Every structure is written in C-alpha cells, then in structure tokens.
Amino acid sequence: MEKLHRRDFLAQLSLATVAVSVPKHAFSFHSKADAFVEVETTYGRIKGMQNEGVNLFKGIPYGGRISGDRRFRRPAPLEPWTGVRDALQFGAPAIQPPRRNEPAPSEDCLFLNVWTPANDNKKRPVMFYSHGGGFVGGSGAAGGQDGSNLARNFDVVVVETNHRLGLLGFLYLDELGGADYAGSGNMGMLDIAAGLKWVYDNIAQFGGDPNNVMIWGESGGGAKTSCLYAMPEAAPYFNKASIESGPGVRMTTKEIAAETTAMLLKELNIAPKDWRKLLDIPAADLLAMQAKLPFVPPFIEKNKNLGMMRRNYGGFGPVVDGVVLPHHPFDPTAPAISRNKPLLVGWNEDEYAFFAWERKDTEFAKLDFDSLSKKLEPQYGEDTAKIVDTYRKANPDATAPQIFMAISSITMMGLGSVDIAEKKVKQGGAPVYLYNFGYKSEKKIPGTDYPMGTPHAMDISFKFNNEIPPRDGSAPKESFFGGNRPERFTASRHFAELWTTFARTGKPAAKDVPKWPAYNLKTRPTMRIDTTCEVIDDRFSHELAVWRAVGKL
C-alpha cells in the first residue's frame, strides 16, 4: 500500500466522493407519481409530480446553452417556452463519467430540482444544497440527498442544482480570452449563483420564501458553499449557510490557475495564441485530458512553498480572481460581505474511514505505535513525535489505528472547520455554530475488523432524514454506510431537525437536543450530533493546541 499523505487524501477526495454519491440505494429518476402539479415560472409553465405528499419538479432549466461558442462563458439567455414543459425527469449532470440511475452527462447541464410540501404560496424556508464530488463530479440527483423527507417531515423547500464542473467549469482563461471570458475560472460557481437567482425569482411559486434561503453542502459542496459565502454575485440571494466536511478556507490563486491552463494547452499541443481551439475539442476528449491533471481538494493547506502548491494543487476548481471570488473565502478573515449571515460548520469524527474504504487501505488497521510514527513521519517530520505523544496523552486508551484515524480525520476536515469558526467569531457579526457528527456505524471497513464509525459522506443521508423506517411498514434496509441499528433513525432525526430549524430561524435547535450555544473563543462549545446529542466545551483542546504549535492551524 502506498503511503497516504494528507495532500494525497485530499487530491483523491473529488473522485472519492463521486464514488459514494451513487450508492446502491440511490433513487431512480423514474419516480412514481400520485398526481401531477403545474406551476408558472418566469420562463414558462412546468409540470411536476406529487408523490406521498411532496411535490417534486425535476430538471428545471435555470440557464441557457453553455456549449459551442458559450463554452467557458456565461450561459446564453434561457429562452422562454410556450405550453407546459415536463419537469418529470432529472436533467443531465455535468460532463463526468456516467452516473447510475441518472441521465447521460452533457455539457449543457444547467438544471435544478425542487422538492416542496405544496405549491401554496406559503413562505417556507428554502434549503439550497450544493452536491459533493469535489469540483469534478456529482449532481443534484445524487443518491442519499433526495429532498422528499426534509420537505415532508420538516415543512421546508429543498433545491439542488447541476452546474459546470472540472475543466469546463473552472478553466482560467481571463488573461487569454478577454472580456467575453471574464470570470471563466469560476463558471461553475457562477452557475450556482444563477441557480440562487432563479430561486429568488421563482421559489414563491413553490411555497418557499425568497428572503429566507440557506445555502449548504458537504465535501466539495462545503467548499462551494464557502466560496458562495464570499461571492458578491451570490450575496443578495441567501441569508445563512452551512459548511459540512469541506472547509474551503483557501482556493486556487490566479497564478496557479494560469499555470494549469498553460499545462493543459501544452498537453494538447496548442499555442497560447491559439487557445480558441479548445472550443472545438469534444467535451469527452477534454474530460479524458482532465483526468491526466491533478485535482483540487475542497480546501488548500496554508503553504508558503508556492512551488509545492503548484505541484499539489494545479487542477480545476474555484479561482481567487479578484472579481467573482475577490479573495480566499476565509483567509485572512471571514468574508465581510456575509458578516451578518449565520453559519454552521463542522465535520465527521471518522472522516478517514471513508478513504480507507475507498482506497482499500487495510494496513492502517494493523499499525502499532512504532509503525504509526513511521507512517506519519513523511508528512510531519520532526513534529511527528510531539503530535503522537499529544494524542496518546489525550486518548490514553486508544490503539495505534485509532490514533491514526483521529489524526487523519481532524487534519482532513477538522482544522479548517475550526479555523472558519474562529475567524467568524472574531468578525463580531452573526453567530457561528460548530459541530461534530458522531453516530457510529457498526459496519466494518472491508478487509479489517475496524468499524466505519462516522466516515466522510455518511452525514448526507442522515441530515436529509433519509435514515428513516420505510413508510410502507416493511423492514428497514441496511444503510450504505450507517449500518443496521435502528438508533440511526434517531440520530438522523436530530441532524435533520437541527438543520431545518437553522434554515427557518438562524438558530439550530431540536426536540430532545440540548440548547446549542454559538461558538465563542472562551468556552468553545461544540455540538456532538448522535442518538443522544451533547454540547462539549473546548473539545479536542490538547489536540488543537499541538496543531497550532506545529503551524497547521
């Protein structure tokens, strides 16, 4: 097994989340309709379906053509239609490998889906979700994130978009293409902002409140949410946010993005002055080329070695271009543009278990404390002994594999989450709430006796309230990650209720859950979400202290 360093984990995250975004229980885009529902939008009338008390509208176009001469540019204007357009099947996802139970990917992919309890002009909170999959995969119809149960059980409206990804969404051409290609390095983010504007203009017809919109997302969707939180173009259209296991503190700089563009042109044997030849290359060929280049993780480490950053992070993701994304989302400070917008941020306790599963890493489960230090030394060098010693003292009963899991998980998603929370507090504006998701799955990582615990991406089905007994009274099926224990239904209810209450009021709360205090720099309260939830003050204090001491936080 090759040694897995933090940057290796993160570089794989974009692909890894794609792998889990279509598990066996993914819902089909051929849903059974109890009845049909028609509604007027700003572009024309559409027909959706009613199913078990939820109205679902699939594949609604929110932008025009982005292929041909519109590649790497703002979409063509969306043409209104006459008559009634069917919104009964999910729209094509962005160009990527084919996705199970979904339409074939397409370059023209600007579609969104809406789940609502009723089209009755009631002003419900709107939960606008950005899917995971890093910046290269996923869709608004991915398994586990069906919005039906949130809409039905918590009286909210759920919206999910497809948007440009990878090379087609984030190729930086500003310096080559001129005014027509301004913002090219952030087209995928501008698509999402356009989806938010569509919500503002139309969601009242779907029973939602355009002035009470929460943006949220997991993994790559958390990084996208971090960017939206700092984007002037998105700012008028949302009121609060949640960043889940994807703390986008920093994004790609213009300099690195320009080098990636130069690398691509060189690989394609295209001179910079002839860059327009990119417009004629089939999208499938660009996808194949994209796979040969590095991937951008959901967040980029603070690293003064620019050369190393170029080697590690020269891929396709949002670009700090000074205009669309004026600065890094949370570096050096929380974005002033969202100062008064409440924020949730946090991570899963056993994030690395997902990557062990995805990478078939069984070796970590065999570690003893001697081999643990040897495994960590290439990444942490002379600080390894200090880090391991701190973790052993803070967790005296932990085994070497458990210490490795704890270190790997907090460095992947925890340190950035804490960084965001601290910077939001220092801003002195709206509150920020820090969480850890901790429900433990009993399922084993294949090839080991090590339990999955709370791996990366397991939160998706829990927070969407999709860990729930079947409505027809049949026996529950095993959850893809969450296992078989019925306690998971309670944890899912807590998670979903906390998030929907936050969407409604700006303060997370739920029945049978302690009051969740806003984060502060004195007591540092963290909500641990589980079958029984608890507020823990100054959690991981010793561990975070050592990460500060070695310059990782």
- Give Cα separations from 93 to 49, 241, 256, 283 (angstroms): 21, 24, 27, 13
User: CB–CB of 196/211 below 8 Å?
Assistant: no
Select which of 422, 456, 497, 543 is catalytic.
456
Catalytic residue among 218, 351, 358, 422: 351
> In the 8-state DSSP scheme, what is residue 479?
B
Q: Which residues contact residue 14 at a Cβ distance below 8 angstroms, ignoring those fewer than 6 apart?
A: 133, 134, 135, 136, 137, 220, 295, 296, 297
Taken in order 71, 74, 77, 83, the sign of the CA dihedral is: positive
CA–CA separation, 281 and 263 (whole Å): 16
**8 A C-beta contact, residue 188 and residue 159:** no
Q: Collapsing DSSP states into helix, strand and coil, what is residue 285?
A: helix
Helix (H, G, I), strand (E, B) or coil at 371: helix
Beta strands in 121-175 (DSSP E): 124-130, 157-161
**Secondary structure of 444-478 in HEC code, one letter for each residue:** ECCCCCCEEECCCCCHHHHHCCCCCCCCCCCCCCC
3-state secondary structure 292-347: CCCCCCCCCCCCCCHHHHHHHHCCCCCEECCCCCCCCCCCCCCCHHHCCCCEEEEE
Q: How far is CA 180 from CA 124, 169, 177, 184, in A?
A: 38, 15, 7, 9
Instruction: Answer yes or no: 373 catalytic.
Output: no
Give the whole-angstrom CA distance, residue 3 versus residue 404.
Answer: 13
**Residue 178: which region, alpha, beta or left (left: phi > 0; alpha: psi -120 to 50)?**
left
Separation of alpha carbons 365 and 361, rounded Å: 8
Catalytic-role residue among 14, 139, 219, 408: 219
Q: How far is CA 25 from the centre of its chain?
A: 20
Q: Which residues pair with 432 in a beta bridge?
A: 343
Do the Cβ atoms of 18 and 137 come closer than 8 Å?
A: yes
Q: How many degrees, rounded to 5, is the angle at CA 333 between CA 327 and CA 339?
A: 95
Report the SS3 class of residue 389: helix
541 has catalytic annotation: no
Q: Which two tokens stand for residue 46?
A: 């559409």
**Sign of the C-alpha dihedral computed for residues 477, 17, 159 and 65 taken in this order:** negative
Q: Which two tokens stand for residue 208?
A: 């939602």
- Catalytic site residue 351? yes
Cα distance between residue 55 and residue 33, in whole Å: 9
> Which residues carry out catalysis?
219, 351, 456
